[in-house]
Structure 1
Amino acid sequence: MNDRRNLYFYTLKDATTLRKVEELKNLAKRYEFNLVNQSKDANIIVSVGGDGAFLQAVRNTGFREDCLYAGISTTGNLSMYCDFYIDDTSKMIDAMMKEQVEVRRYPTINVTVDGQTSFHCLNEFSIRSGIIKTFVMDVFIDDFHFETFRGDGMVIATPTGSTAYNKSVNGAVVDPMLPCMQVSELASLNNNRYRTLGSSFILSGNRKLKLQIVQDGNDYPSMGIDNEALGIRHVREVELSLSERKIKTVKLKDNSFWEKVKRTFL
């Protein structure tokens, strides 16, 4: 990290957090980091809050590939994207001075809606019925019609996102070193007319997934990218693929993905 000295803090705005961030800024100056006011001028972007704040930091700074992202937790618990706790400054100093950090590259998903609007996701893309009624989607894998889904919706997750919404709907936890997407159903309806796989499935990073919403009057689904809702109403088709863009994050050498999974769930 010696060649990366321009630091930008993305933080929650409550008074307690802002006061502690000022202490972090003073610490950074003491160790000769340059504090910048614009994220575009930074080569290290630090989110302060939790995993939600980290996702917002990545999204609101443009999913940059030319900088490092680091997460600092304010909750007292370390999380999937936060390797540091805001009150444990000695650990941060040791990590910086003794080079105890590594760089991990996390894959992202590219989402294109109706062939026009594109987004990136670090955790997951979700699509759900916008009313209290199931909706229908034709599911294509590489232009091959795989199934016709009827139900509440689907979650398409990255490996790091596999521990979030995906896991809550019985999806598998996936090692982030595997470049892939996981597709998990939300309350699918299976009968003589509609038949789905009924379990999560994993697609290679070279595959493309296409969801075509059947226009039967319930074609205003609710969509989410990570922890943000998309304000797009009428939707006909969503295409998803693993992006070439990877997010570089700072992690401690003794805090691997599977150590985080154990700490969080076991």
Structure 2
Amino acid sequence: MKVGIYNNETTESQRVTKLLRAEIERAGLVYDDQNPDVVITIGGDGTLLSAFHHYIDQLDRLRFVGIHTGHLGFYTDWRNFEIDDLVDSLVQDSGQSVSYPLLDMRAGYSDGTVDRYVALNEATIRNITRTMVCDVYINNQLFENFRGDGLCISTPTGSTAYNKSVGGAIMDPNSVGFQLAEMASLNNRVFRTLGSPIIFGADTKLMLRLRDVNDHVMTCDREQLHLKNEKGKRYLMEISFQVSQKRISFARYRHTNFWNRVKDSFIGGGK
């Protein structure tokens, strides 16, 4: 087995990386950052997001394992004091894995060009200088006209991240679909939106057609694009979303109950 390591720059993550690499080599495993079978991330959920995009062209043949060196994360199953147990699991690996759906995102511009992205957590679109106005299409049919700060489109595993903070629902990570949540929508006797999160199935296509071409910010996970319209330059016209054909796989050596993790993270241990 070939094992790669992807870590953040904190002192603790650097310490764990050094220890883990020594244990991997002592166990007779091959350390390979370029073409690994398993990528171990050391840090938190943000580090795993960065590793996901770093290895995005190899998703069909690798699995991830997360070690958290700070606060508990939703993608990181192992603690920094469990290195020996993790290496033992790598040695005994039989290919066990669990996979989750991702989000395809296509941004279409005025010059006919299209940029493509894949999100593990979410994508967002907002206007930073004025109310964002866009037409929302579901399976090519106009559903509503949105006015507000912006929209968040999330995967099931990303539903506990930014999506939750803007009032979106938490989705079971075993479901296949995605979610649309509003950011501060305008709802009055003139302008109306549904006003609640929408969960779409596996075959749904969502399209947002922008009414204004100035000062939009689009994100895909941690990547941010400021789409400022300039004379003679291309500008963003529409963005479409659907479940990706790609999936992310984790080497799941032990079961971590998702709903227990949700409870521990957001509710705590009180009665």
TM-score normalised to structure 1 length: 0.90
- The code of the aligned residue for 1:43 comes to D
Match of 2:73 in 1: 79
Paired letter, 1:13: E
Equivalent residue for 1:248? 249
User: Structure 1 residue 21: deviation in Å?
Assistant: 0.6
Residue-by-residue CA offset, 1:22-80 (whole Å, 9 max, x unaligned): 11001111222100142xx11111111100000000011125121001111111x4310
Distance of aligned partners of 1:86 and 1:127 in 2 relative to their CA distance in 1, 3 Å threshold: same
Aligned to 2:263: 262
Q: Give the corresponding residue for 2:15.
A: 19
Distance 1:166 1:60 in 2: 23
- Alignment partner, residue 119 of structure 1: 117
Instruction: Encode CA deviations 1:134-180: one digit per residue, 9 max, x unaligned.
Output: 11010000111000000000100000000001111121110111111
Q: 150, 155, 158: which one pairs with 1:153?
A: 150
Distance 1:96 1:6 in 2: 10
Q: Which residue of the partner structure matches residue 235 of structure 1?
A: 236
Cα distance in 2 for partners of 1:55, 1:106 equals 14
Confirm or deny: 8 A CA contact 1:102 1:253 kept in the other structure.
no
Whichever residue aligns with residue 74 of structure 1, its letter is T
Select which of 140, 143, 147 maps to 1:143: 140
SS of the equivalent of 2:236 reads coil
> In 1, distance between residues paired with 2:31 and 2:56?
19
Amino acid at match of 1:245: K
Q: SS of the counterpart of 2:185?
A: coil
Check 1:161–1:44 CA distance in 2 against 1; reply closer, same or farther (3 A cut).
same
Deviates most, 96-105 or 106-115? 96-105
* Partner Cα separation in structure 1 for residue 80 and residue 206 of structure 2: 40
* CA–CA separation in structure 1 for the residues paired with 2:93 and 2:38: 15
Q: Distance in 1 between matches of 2:191 and 2:197?
A: 17
Which residue among 85, 110, 116 is the counterpart of 1:91? Answer: 85
Aligned with residue 24 of structure 2, among 25, 28, 39: 28
| Residue ranges of structure 1 left out of the alignment (5+ in a row) | none
Moved more, 49-58 or 229-238: 229-238
Q: Secondary structure at the match of 2:97?
A: strand
Deviates more, 1:156-165 or 1:188-197: 188-197
5+ residue gaps, structure 2? 229-234
Distance 1:81 1:213, change over 3 A: same
Alignment match, 1:205: 202
1:195-215 per-residue CA deviation (whole Å, 9 max, x = no partner) reads 100000111110000000103
Q: Is the 8 A contact 1:80 1:260 kept in 2?
A: yes
Give 2:64's aligned residue.
Answer: 69
8 Å CA contact retained: 2:219, 2:225: yes
| 2:231 match | none
5 Å matches for 1:122-201?
Answer: 122-131=120-129, 133-201=130-198
**Pick from 2, 5, 11: which aligns with 1:9?**
5
| Aligned-partner residue type, residue 73 of structure 1 | H
Aligned to 1:103: 97
Cα distance between partner residues in 2 of 1:96 and 1:20 = 16
Question: Do the aligned partners of residues 100 and 34 (structure 1) sit closer, same or farther apart at CA in structure 2, a change above 3 Å counting?
Answer: closer
2:214 is aligned to 219
